Amino acid sequence: MTYEETLHYLYHQLPVFQQVGSSAYKPGLGNSEALDEFFGHPHQKYRTIHVAGTNGKGSTSHLLAAILQQSGYKVGLYTSPHLVDFRERIRINGEVISKEFVMDFTQRYIKPTQNIHPSFFELTMMMAFDYFAACKVDIAIIEVGLGGRLDSTNIITPDLSIITNISFDHVQFLGNTLPKIAEEKAGIIKHGIPVVIGEADGDVKQVFIDKAEEVKAPIYFAEEFKPITSAQLTDSGKWLFESIQYPNLTGELGGFCQEKNATTVLTAIEILKQNNYTIPTNAVYTGFKNVTRLTGLQGRWQCLGNFPKIICDTGHNIGGMQYIVQQLNSEKFKTLRIVIGMVNDKDINGVLSILPKNAVYYFTQASIPRALPAHDMMQKGLAHGLSGACYITVEDAYKQAFTDSDREDLIFIGGSTFIVADLLSMKQKNILTTQL
């Protein structure tokens, strides 16, 4: 099979959650444990860090990867979903997995593992674990796919567990209250393994305390650790953090949510150093300042152009959108134009209810089966007092928004990871060369 044929096989012969949703979700570790046994437990050949949470997992994982790379470690990074290229999911020191490895792995192991009936996520996770072992990484940062307790990745025994925060998302699988969702996320906390909690209070905080006590895991709350004494978002869109240990620390990633992520990462770094990781001060500075170049991270309050200013962000639930709305309200513009679409299993009404009313909306849909049709998205938007029109593709919506704009406008594109993925795919194919 060619590389394109291999991807076609993976996407069409295995259940893919990002495409079809709940029918691809396989709770439980049975398949992962069977695959792990078949492949000889590859994740045991290197150290790991496990990252869960409703929002901020990707930024946190990439920041840690960048810092550890700059510390001299060979770092594997497994995240999901990808935006443009499947290989974004599996990286070593920022470089994506080779097409040859993807093809070879698939051709060698599809048939022998058919009796296990793995999902797309389970098999690609094992591809990552096997690749990291073959390339002899020192450490791999593993992002949870969904939840924690029953997530496929929860077969690992990491050096450190991180839970960024808890918000409402995937409630059909994880529970309809924050404490229930926290219980699922807390499932990655393991016996004797330290855990860093980014944000938590009240009943949610108690869930983590109880779980940590149950398994005798040292627990650290980043908000109590307080590694950052002050934070300022500069005119350039970058953060300037003040810290006793890291004064004048520049954070490349924009967006209000990144202050919380930075607090979580700096806390995690101190715990790793206490556990014999060598992390020089200059590695922290370089990692924070150059995370996108070092790891390939995209889609986090990413500026794609100016005059008009063009921003995209992958935030897709109420927790993520609250930060985006706060950010939009702080921006200066003549007219705010929002290109938005969502997938049909999210809290669409909840998100629409908090979006700014003073914007022109371009309702659209991503190119996946789970996407809510653009017309339905528009009808829901209108019901929440949002005015605009619908466009069948992200390309159509974006081009109309750009045509309508003048130099002082702001165009925001988001609502779903897959809306941003479609936009960045067009950018990569140079469809939008004259605009972006």
| Whether residue 283 is found in the same domain as residue 365 | no
DSSP letter for 227, please.
Answer: -
Q: Structural domain tally of the chain?
A: 2
| Cα–Cα distance list, 246 to 249, 266, 284, 328, 381 (Å) | 6, 9, 8, 29, 44
**Residue 29 is which amino acid?**
L
pLDDT: is 95 or 24 the higher one?
95
226 is a domain residue: yes
The CATH number that applies at residue 370 is: 3.90.190.20
| Whether residue 15 is found in the same domain as residue 96 | yes
Which contiguous run of DSSP H or E holds residue 141? strand 139-143
| Whether residue 187 is found in the same domain as residue 282 | yes
| Whether residue 148 is found in the same domain as residue 213 | yes
The fraction of the chain above a pLDDT of 70, given in percent, is 93
76 is a domain residue: yes
What lies within 8 Å, CB to CB, of 33 at 6+ separation is: 155
Contact 176, 203 (CB under 8 A): no
DSSP 80-103: S--SS-GGGGEEETTEEPPHHHHH
What integer is the mean pLDDT of 200-216? 96
pLDDT at 124 over 90: yes
The values of phi and psi at residue 171, to 5°, are: -65, -25
What are 251-279's pLDDT values in tens digits? 999 888 899 999 999 999 999 999 999 99
pLDDT at 60 over 50: yes
| Whether residue 223 is found in the same domain as residue 353 | no
Task: Look up the domain containing 380 and give its range.
Answer: 302-428
Sign of CA dihedral 398, 404, 405, 411: negative
What lies within 8 Å, CB to CB, of 100 at 6+ separation is: none
| Domain-ending residue, one of 295, 325, 355 | 295
436 is a domain residue: no
434 is a domain residue: no
What are 156-183's pLDDT values in tens digits? 999 999 999 988 664 555 757 899 999 9
pLDDT of the residue at 430: 67
| Whether residue 264 is found in the same domain as residue 358 | no
Q: Residue 314: pLDDT band by 50, 70, 90 thresholds?
A: very high
DSSP 374-433: HHHHHHHHHHTT-EEEE-SSHHHHHHHHHHH--TT-EEEEESSHHHHHHHHHHHHTTTTT
Distance CA 364, CA 351 (A): 15
What integer is the mean pLDDT of 287-297? 97
Q: Residue 146: pLDDT band by 50, 70, 90 thresholds?
A: confident
| Domain-ending residue, one of 240, 261, 295 | 295
Weakest mean pLDDT among 29-43, 175-189, 206-220:
175-189
Distance CA 218, CA 86 (A): 36
pLDDT at 20 over 60: no
| Whether residue 261 is found in the same domain as residue 363 | no
433 is a domain residue: no
Contact 307, 411 (CB under 8 A): no
| Whether residue 202 is found in the same domain as residue 317 | no
| Cα–Cα distance list, 343 to 122, 285, 412 (Å) | 22, 37, 18
Name the average pLDDT for the chain: 92
| Domain-ending residue, one of 261, 279, 295 | 295
pLDDT of the residue at 338: 98
pLDDT of the residue at 249: 97
pLDDT at 221 over 50: yes
pLDDT of the residue at 240: 96
Q: Residue 158: helix, strand or coil by DSSP?
A: coil
Indicate the pTM of the whole model: 0.92
pLDDT at 432 over 60: no
| Whether residue 227 is found in the same domain as residue 336 | no
pLDDT at 431 over 90: no
The CATH number that applies at residue 158 is: 3.40.1190.10
What lies within 8 Å, CB to CB, of 201 at 6+ separation is: none
39 is a domain residue: yes
Q: Looking up tokens 């990781």, which residue turns up?
A: 277
What are 383-392's pLDDT values in tens digits? 999 999 999 9
pLDDT at 47 over 70: yes
Weakest mean pLDDT among 83-97, 259-273, 341-355, 381-395:
341-355
244 is a domain residue: yes
Distance CA 38, CA 231 (A): 48
Q: Residue 208: pLDDT band by 50, 70, 90 thresholds?
A: very high
| Whether residue 38 is found in the same domain as residue 165 | yes
| Whether residue 49 is found in the same domain as residue 180 | yes
| Whether residue 133 is found in the same domain as residue 187 | yes
